[in-house]
Amino acid sequence: MNELVHPYHRFIRPTVTHTTFCPGCGDGTVAQSILRAIDGLGMDMDDFVFVSGIGCAAWIPSPLFNADVLHTTHGRPIAFAFGIKMGLPDKKVMVVSGDGDLVAIGGNHLIQNARRNIEMVVLCVNNGIYGMTGGQAAPTTPMGVKTTTTPYGAFENFFEDISGLVIAAGASFVARWTTAHPRQLTASIKKAIQKKGFAFIEVISQCPVQFGRKMGMGNAIQMLEDYKKRSISIKEAKKLSPEELKDRMVVGEFVDLDKPEMVEEVTRMIRRASGEAQEAVDTGRG
């Protein structure tokens, strides 16, 4: 009798026997969407270097993915990824981390590297909470929500539109989906991998244990149904007023444009500089 093996099992590190995600966590959907995208493009794990920070989503590539993986300090994965990409320009570099990691403590690295438009994929799993540390408020936690650090309700304005921030900073590809859109998410990840530029994908993802419960949103299935109900495509959203869009989740591919990419610019600069150096030697100016 043949053993049944999951088609993406080959992408999983052989020493991994289980995940650390809570029951109902959206990270499994995100992990599978990434692997489906890689498989769909006919690529291999050795084509990639994965980088992650601190938090639940960071544990998607580390240790699940059977590839070169750098699991870094809190908030800094994009900065580490910068060095990796510059050192290995032919590899695809993908950062997978959460909203707390990429937008709170690591916010400036996100903004600055979107500005640089350096080729890499940044996948931000946005669950609106600090899950791993026990449900503390994040910059993405809606106002009024009671968390372990906001027992009387969150009193800060929050990031409703991380993607908008990254668009403003200058990324050449930006998309947002929810875990209720795995097929669309997979399609966008494929595009992001192929993009010559900074490609950012925000995935609104359920944390039933630390967020759903406290919000009164119920379990994972109820949260996904809520995502389906509240999400609206960017095309449809354009027809509605801001009031009508209140509490809606606008999803889709917001930006997909071509602009100068940093690794290419650096390569050009080096070619120019080393050529000039050669010329200086030739003419005795060195």
Helix (H, G, I), strand (E, B) or coil at 139: coil
Among the candidate windows 85-93, 145-153, 230-238, 249-257, which touches other proteins by CB under 8 A? Answer: 85-93
What φ, ψ does residue 99 adopt, rounded to 5°?
-70, -40
Site membership for other proteins, residue 273 (CB under 8 A) = yes
Pair of tokens at residue 205? 């993802």
Among 12, 25, 37, 49, indicate the residue that binds other proteins (CB under 8 A): 49
**Cα angle value 162/165/171 (rounded, 5°):** 110
What φ, ψ does residue 134 adopt, rounded to 5°?
110, 35
Q: What is the dihedral of CA 125, 126, 128, 129, to 10 degrees?
A: 20
Q: How far apart are the first and last CA of the chain?
A: 73
Report, in Å, the least distance between residue 46 CB and other proteins.
5
Length in residues, the chain: 286
Among 27, 31, 38, 80, indicate the residue that binds other proteins (CB under 8 A): 80
β-sheet bridge partners, residue 27: none
Site membership for other proteins, residue 276 (CB under 8 A) = yes
Among 6, 10, 40, 88, indicate the residue that binds other proteins (CB under 8 A): 88
Nearer to other proteins, 72 or 188 (CB): 72
The count of residues interacting with other proteins (CB under 8 A) is: 42
β-sheet bridge partners, residue 122: 95, 200
- Where in 231-270 is the site for other proteins (CB under 8 A)? 266, 269-270
- Where in 52-71 is the site for other proteins (CB under 8 A)? 62-63, 66-71
Provide the binding-site residues for other proteins, judged by CB under 8 A: 13-15, 45-46, 49, 51, 62-63, 66-73, 76, 79-88, 90-91, 108-109, 112, 266, 269-270, 272-274, 276-277, 281
